[in-house]
Structure 1
């Protein structure tokens, strides 16, 4: 752990991205304090205004404060992204451990189901699930979570296959350790590194998918603020009020880029080939 900390602080990309992500999380948590206005409050006389002392980023077509909506949109996007990945990690880890450890027909059955899910493009599968369940925050989380389960299943399965026959696992079997103990006490701690990297990358994908669903009207429903929903509403007013589409795009770009670069940096830190450098 001390080696990881040293290499983490020596990696400038990891440090900068972790600071950005921490700031985004703090903005989402303290949105009611940081937002100057209620994100759904309408100012009839201030529609599509530019930047001013009262509305720093301007207002939208209904006179709602853009800064407040972007801040609350961060809360929605991070909530959906992190929650969806947690769903994916839980079921993907469980299926991956079972498939990799037991093998044979169990492995074949689980992986064929994952292949069926993989056969569909992510956004189309998410659209189909949301269309079946109905729009809303919870259903959006479940749809994105289900879509990402095959990725984590394959990640964990591959790690399990590489370590299940090593000496420490064989020793656990020899002393009569139960299967659950072998899976969760011996094998699982050794697959957390690839899970951490994949999770950080999956969060950015989940945020992007949520934005796409909200853009199409099947994700977070108005008047709740969502970056994708804000972009969808702003496309009609790009020439009159370009800030309506610029600011949610900037916020989403920074978030997704930070998650991807953080995941790449952590992968490099945990890569054994770089430990001697």
Structure 2
């Protein structure tokens, strides 16, 4: 653990991105304190205004403060992104452990089911699930979580296949350890590294998918603010008030870029081939 900490602190990209993500999380958690206005409050006399003393980033077509909506939108995007990835991690890890350890027909059945999910483009599958379940925060989380399960299943399965025949696992079998103990106490701790990297990368994809669903009107429903919904509303007014589409796009870009760069940095830190460099 101390070695990982030293390598993490020595990696400037990892430190910078972790600080940026921490600030985004704090902004989302402290949204009621940091937001200058209620994100749903309308100031009819200030519709589509530019930056001013009262509205730092301007207002939208209903006179709502863009800064307040972006801050609250960060809460929605991060909650949906992290929650959806947690759903994917739990089920994907369970399926991957079972498929990789037992093999044979169990492995074949689970992976063919994952192949069926992989056969659909991610956004189309998420659209189909949300259309069947109905729009809303919980259904959006479940849809994105289901879409990402195959990725984690394959990641964990591949790691299990390379681990399950090693000496320490064979020793656990020899002393009569139960299958549950072998899976969760012997094998699982050794697949957490690729799982951590995949999780950090999947969060950015989940945020992007949530924004796409909200853009299409099937994600977070008005008047609750979400970056995708703000972009969808702003496309009709982008020539009159370009800030309406610039600021939510910028917020989404920074968040997704930070998640991706953090995941890449953690992957480099955990990769044995980079040790000593």
Q: TM-score, normalised by structure 1?
A: 1.00
- Counterparts of residues 156-195 of structure 1 (less than 5 Å): 156-195=156-195
| Cα deviation 1:172-215 (Å, max 9, x = unaligned) | 11111100000000000000000000000000000000000000
Q: Corresponding residue for 2:35? A: 35
Answering whether residue 220 of structure 2 is matched by residue 228 of structure 1, we say no
Q: Corresponding residue for 1:196? A: 196
CA distance in 2, matches of 1:180, 1:46: 62
- Counterparts of residues 7-46 of structure 1 (less than 5 Å): 7-46=7-46
Detail structure 1 runs of 4+ shifted over 2 Å in the superposition: none
Could you tell me which runs of 5 or more consecutive residues in structure 1 were left unpaired when the two chains were aligned.
Answer: none
Q: Corresponding residue for 2:132? A: 132
CA distance in 2, matches of 1:174, 1:30: 53
CA distance in 2, matches of 1:46, 1:111: 55
CA distance in 1, matches of 2:121, 2:44: 42
The alignment yields a C-alpha RMSD, in angstroms, of 0.4
Could you tell me which runs of 5 or more consecutive residues in structure 2 were left unpaired when the two chains were aligned.
Answer: none
Q: Corresponding residue for 1:79? A: 79
2:42 aligns to what SS in structure 1? Answer: coil
CA distance in 1, matches of 2:232, 2:44: 21
Q: Corresponding residue for 1:105? A: 105
2:235 aligns to what SS in structure 1? Answer: helix
Q: Corresponding residue for 2:205? A: 205
| Cα deviation 1:36-81 (Å, max 9, x = unaligned) | 0010001111100110010000000000000000000000000000
| Cα deviation 1:140-171 (Å, max 9, x = unaligned) | 00000000000000000000000000011011
CA distance in 1, matches of 2:65, 2:259: 27
Aligned residue pairs, count: 277
CA distance in 2, matches of 1:78, 1:27: 11
CA distance in 1, matches of 2:175, 2:275: 34
